[in-house]
Amino acid sequence: MKFIATFSSLFCMFLLLCAGLAHAENLLLTDHPLAGKIWDMNNHTFIDESALIVEIKSADVLLLGETHDNSMHHDIQQTLFKSFVDSVGSAKLKPALMMEQLDAATQPALDQALVGGNRDEVLNRVTEMIKFTDWIYYRPLLAIAIDSKLPVIAANVSNRDLQPVIWSGFIAYDQDELKRLMVEEVWSQKRQSYLITHMGGAHCGQLRDELRAGLTRSQRLRDALMADSALHDISQRVVAIVGSSHARRDIGLPLYFAARVPSARIFSIGFIEVSPTVTDPKSYEVDSATGEVPYDVVWFTPRAERADPCANFGKSEENIP
């Protein structure tokens, strides 16, 4: 199978919580031939950072797909986000910062926290709402949003709200809402086969088929709902900070943005950790299961040093969300 991003990034937060991983401070494979290079997947060529910044300026939706515990991914996100914000001359065109790391249920409290108080007070109030273990990585992004007076969208959906779909199927969800969100309209058998196969890998191969199918449904609905969180004002430009699987054009958020707002200019960047033995950028391009280019651009980075997420993964399913 081609080496597009390892699917451990799918439900990465879940794995971090279950495995109790510490912050990944060290980077591996820093001398890899691809580390630090930027690959344009549409034109099959390397580009430099300045060319990438020019490309992203026209995006209505810019997705920055990370591996949550890789500090280099967050550093690059900050650079690109700041460049994107600075490139917009009119305040009317300023983007919203959309974050997977904040639950949608916190939006009213988030909006209130963003109003008033000095910068540090606001930043502290907002970062207290981040549920990710590596919350400190997201403070600089929020600081840029606060300094630029940008709206912040809390995009994620609680596991509790997805439970009925996990265990009972889409029949347990409002059918009119599913239609409005275009959950079925964007899907295909190839996408289903890919996602359900890799869902098992994301959970260390310890899921029975019923639960794997349920988590696949919840992943689809989560992406549809996260996209929906940014579509209340379709004129609003968006920079989305999400896991790399959510940023994929073939299975993630871009599907729903494109279906709901066909005129939207969507640009997806995947920050991909290099594989030790794979040095040809084309080998990262097309996943054999979907046959589609997953990102517009891949920015290759060293790998974060981390414990095996499956080492402490319990054999029972009692802690599965």
Read off the pLDDT of residues 264-280 as tens digits, 9 standing for 90 and up: 999 999 999 999 999 99
Q: Is 220 helix (H, G, I), strand (E, B) or coil?
A: helix
Give the residues across from 300 on adjacent strands.
272
Q: What is the DSSP string of 28-39?
A: E-TT-TTTT-EE
* Confidence label for 142 from pLDDT (cuts 50, 70 and 90): very high
* Confidence label for 22 from pLDDT (cuts 50, 70 and 90): very low
Average pLDDT, the chain: 87
Q: Which domains does the chain have, with CATH numbers?
A: 7-304 (3.40.50.11550)
* Confidence label for 4 from pLDDT (cuts 50, 70 and 90): very low
Q: Is 191 helix (H, G, I), strand (E, B) or coil?
A: helix
* Confidence label for 11 from pLDDT (cuts 50, 70 and 90): very low
* Confidence label for 27 from pLDDT (cuts 50, 70 and 90): very high
* H or E segment to which residue 144 belongs: helix 139-147
What would the pLDDT profile of 193-218 be if each residue is shown by its tens digit?
Answer: 999 988 866 667 677 889 999 999 99
> What are 121's two structure tokens?
């007070």
Q: Is 102 helix (H, G, I), strand (E, B) or coil?
A: strand
Q: Is the pLDDT of residue 319 over 70?
A: no
Q: Is the pLDDT of residue 298 over 70?
A: yes
pLDDT at 132: 82
> What are 135's two structure tokens?
């919350």
Q: Is 317 helix (H, G, I), strand (E, B) or coil?
A: coil
Q: What is the DSSP string of 2-17?
A: --SS-GGGTTHHHHHH
Distances (CA, A) of 193 to 8, 198, 212, 281: 17, 9, 12, 25
* Lowest-confidence region among 73-87, 130-144, 199-213: 199-213
* Confidence label for 1 from pLDDT (cuts 50, 70 and 90): very low
* Confidence label for 315 from pLDDT (cuts 50, 70 and 90): very low
pLDDT at 205: 65
pLDDT at 289: 66
